[in-house]
Amino acid sequence: MCETPRVPRPSSCRFVSGAPGAVLFKPAGVPTQLLAEVVMTLDEFEAIRLADLEGLYQEEAAGRMGISRTTFGRILDSAHRKVAEVLSGGRCLKLEGGHVHPAEAEEPRGITRRQKETIVKICVPVTADRGLESPVSGHFGSAPIYMLVDVETRQASALSNSRAVHEHGACRPLDALAGHDIDAIVVGGIGAGALMKLQGAGIRVYRATAPTVAGCLDAFARNEAEEIGPGGACGRHGHGHDEHDHGSHEHVPAAALPTRS
């Protein structure tokens, strides 16, 4: 039986507000026709301009371009590699192309394109793999499974947490999720150390307001997701570790997580 060929997902249009001062850069005294050419797209130029010239964090820069943080990171990495290739190889750099659109002069306050598009892929630590009905774990670092969910399609896949058992202070959330594009984490409980590492990487962290993954998705759909600030970590996770204070306190079990009416 013939299989239907998979059609690549089209890239979204990126908004650019800056224009390059020139569109061709090359070593002095060498004719262009003798040089190997490296093409940088205008969205790659915009990513470098926002991150390296304006000094914006990736979260804010991605918002300017109307794309997710992970997409911005990939564009910026590609642009940096091309700059390094040009400088180290003495090549010609040409700026052109890219799926771009001129940005509006002023972004409206309140709900922006970035806020609408940021949360696409979320991770929910769970205690068992039951798809969207998986029970939310009361812990982040010690959850046996991470459920990776697309907010738009509600497709879910389970990722085993190989670091569910770790020593105090050894929670490495970025290692556990390495290789996966995650925009946000939805947790029943998280320590200050893990929270700082995730937020430092530009991954937003939200408090679970429902006992299941499906309930958490519904909260996002109703715009009721509660983002955790720097002071919102579990209060008694001392010394920077994420989980288990061995008897000094208890997390709220998954079944007791609050639900919004």
The partner residues of 226 in beta bridges, in order of sequence, read: 207
Predicted pLDDT of residue 22: 83
Predicted pLDDT of residue 256: 38
Predicted pLDDT of residue 61: 87
Task: Kindly report, residue by residue over 75-133, the tens digit of the pLDDT.
Answer: 999 999 999 999 999 999 998 887 776 665 444 333 333 333 457 889 999 999 999 99
Task: Kindly report, residue by residue over 221-256, the tens digit of the pLDDT.
Answer: 888 888 887 665 554 443 333 433 333 333 434 333
pTM score: 0.47
Task: Kindly report, residue by residue over 157-189, the tens digit of the pLDDT.
Answer: 999 887 655 444 445 666 777 778 888 899 988
For residues 158 and 200, the model is more confident at 158
Q: Which domains does the chain have, with CATH numbers?
A: 14-104 (1.10.10), 119-256 (3.30.420.130)
| Pairwise CA distance, residues 191 & 139, whole Å | 9
Predicted pLDDT of residue 202: 77
Residue 194 — pLDDT band, cuts 50, 70, 90? Answer: confident
Task: Kindly report, residue by residue over 28-65, the tens digit of the pLDDT.
Answer: 998 988 999 999 998 999 999 998 888 888 888 888 88
Query: In Å, how far from its chain's centre is CA 14?
Result: 17
Lowest mean pLDDT among 67-76, 196-205, 248-257: 248-257
| Pairwise CA distance, residues 19 & 133, whole Å | 48
Burial 52-68 (b: 16+ CB within 10 A, else e): eeeebebbbbbbbbbbb
